[in-house]
Amino acid sequence: MLYYDAERREMQQRDRAMIPKTLLAAMVAVALGGLSLAAYARVTDMPLAGVPQDAPVVDSRTFVLEGDSVSVRATTPDGEVLLDTDNGAFIAVVGDALRRQRIVHRTVGNPPVTLARLANGRLVLTDPATGWSAEMTSFGAGNARHWDVLFE
């Protein structure tokens, strides 16, 4: 019985000192600092930073993207096959994200998407049915190269 009580007192001491008060105060200060910086930027209408510059569209393709998370098939709205592969790699991943957006927006069917090559080298995939878009070049040059097949 004496051993049990001593162990319980030791655990109570340890549990109280798990997070030092200075560390907790520092975490609150960082959170409040970030909140006040965001509020200041919003109130003073500071321009957005890290937003890609607008550029004119050099080339674009409209196609229907189908797949099963591995294989991918891209066809024009007229039915011309642009891509049909058993290993869609990054395109299959983007197709999964597109399907998820369409589920969230309750989009019926599989309407076409548009892939645009901009003058500054960016590739942007846009889904007019949901308003969703993704910068393919943001995922690295290797992943962006997978989409070049659609422009050939």
Q: Which of 2-16, 39-53, 78-92, 133-147 has the lowest mean pLDDT?
A: 2-16
**Mean pLDDT in residue range 50-72:** 90
Residue 149: its pLDDT value, please?
A: 85
Nearest to 98 by CA among 78, 125, 124: 125
Q: CA 92, CA 122: separation in Å to the nearest integer?
A: 19
The label of the residue with tokens 């995939």 reads 125
Q: What is the pTM of this model?
A: 0.69
**Mean pLDDT in residue range 37-51:** 90
Residue 64: its pLDDT value, please?
A: 94
Residue 148: its pLDDT value, please?
A: 86
**Mean pLDDT in residue range 129-148:** 90
Q: Which residues contact 65 (CB under 8 A, 6 or more apart)?
A: 72, 73, 74, 91, 94, 95, 98, 110, 113
Q: CA 131, CA 11: separation in Å to the nearest integer?
A: 55
Q: What is the mean pLDDT of the chain?
A: 88
- pLDDT of 31 strictly over 80: yes
What are the DSSP calls for the chain, one per residue? Answer: -HHHHHHHHHHHHHHHTSS-HHHHHHHHHHHHHHHHHHHHHHHTTPPPSSPPPP--EEEEEEEEEEESSS-EEEE-TT--EEEEES--THHHHHHHHHHHHHHHTT--S---EEEEEETTS-EEEEETTTTEEEEGGGG-HHHHHGGGGGG-
Q: Which of 6-10, 46-50, 52-56, 61-65 has the lowest mean pLDDT?
A: 6-10
Structure tokens that stand for 95 in this block? 């197709």
